[in-house]
């Protein structure tokens, strides 16, 4: 009993110190910084989440729809989509195992494991796991301009067999460079139209993400958001 009492006192003292120095806030901020570094920009996750969910709902996404996110990253949009969709309707794909480890942690921390999301590590856009599964909606946000022409062709090939409707924002303004281990590619909308047509897809330019409600500054707001459908 004395041993247990001492343990409780020690735990209480540690908790007071933890609260006194606001360590939890520091840990939460450090975790958010890690997520944002894998996403690309610090301080932008809340707006990215809000915009993606609001946009997709405006395009007709309902909880009963099946949804595939290619390039899901650290659950930037995925977390709110899993929460919104019915159980089993969200599938996320990324090529980075360390990022999907973070994603699973975020799903658990948000209490969304019971929604049964499926997260897949794949260099083939999930073709090695999803067989002939179709989806009502496919989304790749801030992804296509990180793909070489050859890999982008593979994206269109995979997506054309699975949709529904697909959405992706693209870079038409910022000159090419690199981000982490990925290229950063500038293309015209016509480049995407041509490649999509090769795979039997029609392209509609919905306008810049800023015109669609995205509220952050920076050149990203000028990204056109494209919709791809079967012709």
**Taking the domains of the chain in order of start, what are their residue ranges?**
1-39, 45-230
- pTM over 0.95? The answer is no
Domain 45-230 has CATH 3.40.30.10: no
Which CA distances in Å does 141 have to 29, 68, 153, 196? 24, 12, 17, 17
Closest CA relative to residue 224, chosen from 192, 194, 202: 192
What lies within 8 Å, CB to CB, of 222 at 6+ separation is 172, 173, 208, 209, 210
Mean pLDDT computed over 108-130: 96
68-90 pLDDT, tens digit per residue, is 999 998 898 999 999 999 999 99
Quote the pLDDT of residue 83.
98
Contact yes or no for 185/172 (Cβ under 8 A): no
| φ, ψ for residue 182, nearest 5 deg | -110, 150
Confidence label for 218 from pLDDT (cuts 50, 70 and 90): confident
Q: Judge whether residue 18 has pLDDT over 50.
A: no
Task: Look up residue 160 and give its two tokens.
Answer: 């054309």
């Amino acid at each position: 009993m004395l041993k247990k009492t001492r343990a409780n006192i020690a735990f209480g003292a540690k908790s007071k110190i933890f609260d006194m120095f606001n360590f939890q806030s520091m840990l939460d901020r450090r975790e958010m910084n890690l997520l944002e570094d894998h996403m690309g920009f610090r301080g932008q996750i809340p707006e990215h989440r809000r915009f993606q969910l609001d946009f997709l709902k405006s395009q007709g996404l309902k909880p009963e729809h099946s949804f595939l996110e290619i390039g899901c990253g650290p659950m930037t949009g995925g977390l709110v989509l899993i929460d919104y969709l019915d159980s089993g309707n969200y599938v996320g794909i990324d090529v980075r195992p360390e990022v999907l480890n973070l994603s699973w942690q975020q799903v658990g921390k948000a209490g969304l494991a019971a929604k049964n999301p499926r997260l897949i590590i794949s260099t083939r856009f999930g073709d090695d796991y999803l067989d002939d599964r179709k989806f009502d909606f496919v989304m790749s946000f801030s992804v296509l301009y990180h793909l070489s022409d050859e890999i982008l062709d593979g994206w269109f090939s995979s997506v054309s067999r699975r949709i529904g409707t697909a959405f992706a924002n693209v870079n038409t303004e910022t000159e090419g460079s690199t981000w982490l281990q990925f290229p950063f590619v500038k293309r015209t909308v016509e480049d995407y139209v041509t490649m999509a047509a090769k795979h039997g897809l029609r392209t509609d330019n919905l306008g810049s993400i800023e015109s669609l409600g995205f509220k952050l500054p920076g050149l990203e707001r000028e990204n056109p958001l494209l919709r791809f459908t079967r012709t």
